Structure 1
Amino acid sequence: MGKKINKQADADLVRDLKQGDPAAMEEIVKRYSNKVYNLAYHLTRDAHAAEEIMQDVFLTVIAKIGTLTTEAYFSTWLYRVTTNAAYGYLRKEKKFSEQTPVEDIDQEQYLDYDWSTLPDDVLLSEESKEVLRESIDSLPEAMRTVVVLKDVEGLKNEEIAETLGISVPAVKSRLHRGRLILRQLLSEYFSKYTEPSGEEK
């Protein structure tokens, strides 16, 4: 395999791993460690826990890879293992948060917010990025998981549904609600730079 391993498709790596090739596992870790860590961190909001979960996830991959019958679905399976591990940690630590009722959100106010008036240096600032990260982290677990998988990891709705064991309509509903809450939180932050359209300071 040697130099060509980094160009292999996931399905080929999984087949090699099932045959006991250690180089395949090394490439999987290299390819997915950041994604697994980031997902675990977003779900737990704990860097130390995310590190432990990442290690546990790859140990699970080694132990359970034989149960994966369709190699092409490896990434979806890996996200499911990571999500389950993160939820297991949250249950053990009793850190599940209460769901935020979507009815509590003033939808018209935040859907009409005029983002185009914000300067690029505000939108792209490190402070704004940190506010976005904190806003995502503050979402209820069910919504946060879907938002992270969709908007951070770039999964399709069907992949998210498969990962979480829910329907595609449920994914769309949670994504809509999560984005609505994010829009509220970000609008509150950006309001110090500009006012919603139609209003003057």
Structure 2
Amino acid sequence: MDTQSERHIINQIKEGDSDAFKLMVERHKDASLSLAISILKDQDLAEDVLQDVFITVFQKIETFNFKSKFATWLYRIVVNTSYNQLKKIKKGVDIEEITIVPEKLITHEEMLKEENQKRFINLALLRMNADEALTLRLFYLSEMSIKEISKITGFKTSKIKVCLHRGRNNLDFQLRQLLGNELNDLL
């Protein structure tokens, strides 16, 4: 979405236009959900967090001042809310110990399909460290710059670069764990 269009929609939201808000939610919900899942490792929990995020966005939209992209501001709220939720639940559960198993075995031909590529990449990201998965999603899937990632996450540039480097290696490792020799066929 171009800057003028984004500014117009945000101004409409500030004036109370619920249709404009619905449009903004529709445009950002998938990427926001993906970020929340990166941190929380649970789709249902991430969807709950996202509801809280969009309520917060609606309540705080007046504070958005166009000094950054709307997506940067929104994703910062997603990240903060997700980490706060993680702190609440992490007391009794070690998220790193959760093992995700593919729902069903699929044939070699089915794995070549694009939806299966996404499925296995998402499974691999769910098995990774939250900071690495989040950084990879923001950099590659949301096409954010390191500067924008820093604004969203609060991470220093050096940490982002380290997370990207380790994350790429870890993603490769996790995909190899999930797919073994069939990884080359998937890619």
Pair in the same fold by TM > 0.5? yes
| Contact 2:175 2:183 (C-alpha < 8 Å) held by counterparts | no
1:60-82, Cα deviation, whole Å (9 max, x unpaired): 01111122222652110100101
- Amino acid of the structure 2 residue aligned with 1:137: L
Q: Which residue number in structure 2 is paired with residue 58 of structure 1?
A: 54
Alignment counterpart, residue 173 of structure 2, candidates 157, 165, 184? 184
Alignment counterpart, residue 23 of structure 1, candidates 14, 19, 22? 19
Give the whole-Å Cα distance in 2 for the aligned partners of 1:9 and 1:23.
14
| Contact 2:34 2:137 (C-alpha < 8 Å) held by counterparts | no
What displacement does 1:163 show?
0.5
1:106-139, Cα deviation, whole Å (9 max, x unpaired): xxxxxxxxxxxxx997554655543322211111
Paired residues, number = 170
What displacement does 1:179 show?
0.8
For the pair 1:134 / 2:130, whether they are aligned, the reply is no
1:64–1:177 distance in 2 versus 1, CA, 3 Å = same
Q: Which residue number in structure 2 is paired with residue 93 of structure 1?
A: 89
Q: Secondary structure at the match of 2:128?
A: coil
For the pair 1:157 / 2:153, whether they are aligned, the reply is no
Give the whole-Å Cα distance in 1 for the aligned partners of 2:164 and 2:130.
12
- Amino acid of the structure 1 residue aligned with 2:77: V
Q: Which residue number in structure 1 is paired with residue 102 of structure 2?
A: none
- Amino acid of the structure 2 residue aligned with 1:67: T
What TM-score do you get using the length of structure 2 for normalisation? 0.77
Q: Secondary structure at the match of 1:192?
A: helix
| Contact 2:39 2:131 (C-alpha < 8 Å) held by counterparts | no
Q: Which runs of 5+ in 1 are unaligned?
A: 1-6, 99-118, 196-201
What displacement does 1:190 show?
4.8
- Amino acid of the structure 1 residue aligned with 2:22: E
| Contact 2:36 2:82 (C-alpha < 8 Å) held by counterparts | yes
What TM-score do you get using the length of structure 1 for normalisation? 0.72
| Paired-residue identity, % | 28
Alignment counterpart, residue 135 of structure 2, candidates 124, 129, 146? 146
1:58–1:122 distance in 2 versus 1, CA, 3 Å = closer
Give the whole-Å Cα distance in 1 for the aligned partners of 2:140 and 2:29.
18
Q: Which runs of 5+ in 2 are unaligned?
A: 97-107
- Report the aligned-residue RMSD: 2.9
| Contact 2:38 2:130 (C-alpha < 8 Å) held by counterparts | no
Larger gyration radius, structure 1 or structure 2: 1
